[in-house]
């Protein structure tokens, strides 16, 4: 297929029918579960999975769970509730902040921030970001903490130990949410749906045994742009289908490019498709309005993330095979 900005266009009704049939088959026959649990964040990916699950199984077999904590934006739960009510599914809201507090999430995280900004207090809004324009530089990625002080944002470079402590602490959030997902799945005899789109799944933008844990991942084959379009086709509320993706992890708004991806998803979708289909940097640059060097930087970043996050996709590694279980593996 010739590369163009239209390569991700699909027959959305056909794709909805295909995925809903596969999801129904997977949940009811392969996993032998009665329905599906979806953690609904207020973002596009979980909304698309929830709507697809309703199409596949009916609203009575879908359970939504909203899992805010003290850094969550107020609108995320509002949108989640509105979506559940639009889809006609049962749902519950659990504030996970007390669990995170008890586990040391906020304390450990704040300690790491104070290691570079001793005046930091928990009431200050903040986030972590990578250095600026990665499309136009080959500079090594460094992480910074951005803290809002008296209405002004101040920026401090994070040494590796402080950065990894922040990440390790905030990963409590995704792992605690998944614990709640599986509580309800066990209670209902439902399967747990994962919500990563293709960019997140391919590039390792998830927490192992956190949002990366699931029984089925319905949209892991869809690029982010496609997820938006399928969600709109499935009737997801306009407030979600028109919104920009955020991490909703820190108290200051943080885009996915701030923290992880090299470019906006609308570019990355197309460039990943181009790379996956062996489109040259010259041809891709002409279509995207970039230089071949810029395209090469994105291609290299895709490969680097695939290498560095390969372990996230790996099941526990056995030192010896248990051959007797091979006939019983789900596929």
56 annotated ligand-binding residue: no
Q: H-type helices in the chain, by residue range?
A: 12-25, 44-57, 74-87, 97-103, 105-114, 160-188, 198-203, 224-233, 238-241, 256-259, 265-276, 281-288, 292-308
Is residue 42 a known part of a binding site? yes
| Phi, psi of 140, deg, nearest 5 | -65, 140
215 is in an annotated binding site: yes
- Which residue bears the tokens 């990366």? 212
* Closest residue by Cα to residue 259 from 141, 169, 177: 141
41 is in an annotated binding site: yes
Query: Would you say 40 is a known binding-site residue?
Result: yes
44 a known binding residue? yes
**45 a known binding residue?**
yes
Q: Looking at beta carbons, which pairs linking 3-12 to residues 24 or more positions away fall under 8 Å? A: 3/273, 3/274, 3/277, 3/279, 3/283, 3/284, 3/287, 4/287, 5/270, 5/287, 5/288, 7/270, 7/273, 8/223, 8/225, 8/226, 8/269, 8/270, 8/273, 10/226, 10/229, 12/229, 12/230, 12/233
Residue 246 in marked binding region: yes
| 169 annotated as a binding-site residue | no
Annotated binding residue at 164?
no
Q: Establish whether 302 is an annotated binding residue.
A: no
Known binding residue 308? Answer is no
* Cα(66)–Cα(39) distance, integer angstroms: 6
Tell me: is residue 247 an annotated ligand-binding position. no
Retrieve residue 38's tokens: 């979806």
Q: From CA 158, how far away is CA 155, in angstroms rounded?
A: 10
Tell whether residue 74 is among the known ligand binding residues. no
* Annotation: binding site: 39-46, 175, 195, 200, 208, 215, 224, 246
* Annotation: binding site for ATP: 39-46, 195, 224, 246
* Annotation: binding site for Mg(2+): 45, 200
* Annotation: binding site for deamido-NAD(+): 175, 208, 215
């Amino acid at each position: 297929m010739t590369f163009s900005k239209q390569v991700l266009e699909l027959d959305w009704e056909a794709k909805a029918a295909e995925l809903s049939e596969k999801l129904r088959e997977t949940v009811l026959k392969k996993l032998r579960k009665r329905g599906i649990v979806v953690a609904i964040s207020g973002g596009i990916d979980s909304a698309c999975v929830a709507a697809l699950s309703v199409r596949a199984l009916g609203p009575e077999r879908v359970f939504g769970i909203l899992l805010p904590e003290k850094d969550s934006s107020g609108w995320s739960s509002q949108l989640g509730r509105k979506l559940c009510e639009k889809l006609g599914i049962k749902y519950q809201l659990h504030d996970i902040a007390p669990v995170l507090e008890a586990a040391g999430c906020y304390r450990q995280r704040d300690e790491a921030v104070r290691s570079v900004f001793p005046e930091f207090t928990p009431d200050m809004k903040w986030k972590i970001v990578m250095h600026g324009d990665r499309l136009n530089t080959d500079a090594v990625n460094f992480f910074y903490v951005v803290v809002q002080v008296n209405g002004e944002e101040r920026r401090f470079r994070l040494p590796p130990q402080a950065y990894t402590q922040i990440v390790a602490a905030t990963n409590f959030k995704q792992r605690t949410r998944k614990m709640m997902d599986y509580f309800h799945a066990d209670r209902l005899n439902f399967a747990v749906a994962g919500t990563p789109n293709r960019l997140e799944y391919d590039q390792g933008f998830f927490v192992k045994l956190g949002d990366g844990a699931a029984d089925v991942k319905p949209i892991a084959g869809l690029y982010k742009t496609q997820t938006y379009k399928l969600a709109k086709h499935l009737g997801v509320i306009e407030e979600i289908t028109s919104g920009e993706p955020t991490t909703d992890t820190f108290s200051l708004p943080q885009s996915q490019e701030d923290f992880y991806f090299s470019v906006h998803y609308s570019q990355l979708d197309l460039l990943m498709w181009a790379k996956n289909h062996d489109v040259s940097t010259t041809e891709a640059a002409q279509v995207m309005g970039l230089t071949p060097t810029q395209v090469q930087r994105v291609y290299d970043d895709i490969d680097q993330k695939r290498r560095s996050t390969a372990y996230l996709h790996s099941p526990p590694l056995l030192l010896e095979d248990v051959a007797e279980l091979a006939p019983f593996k789900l596929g």
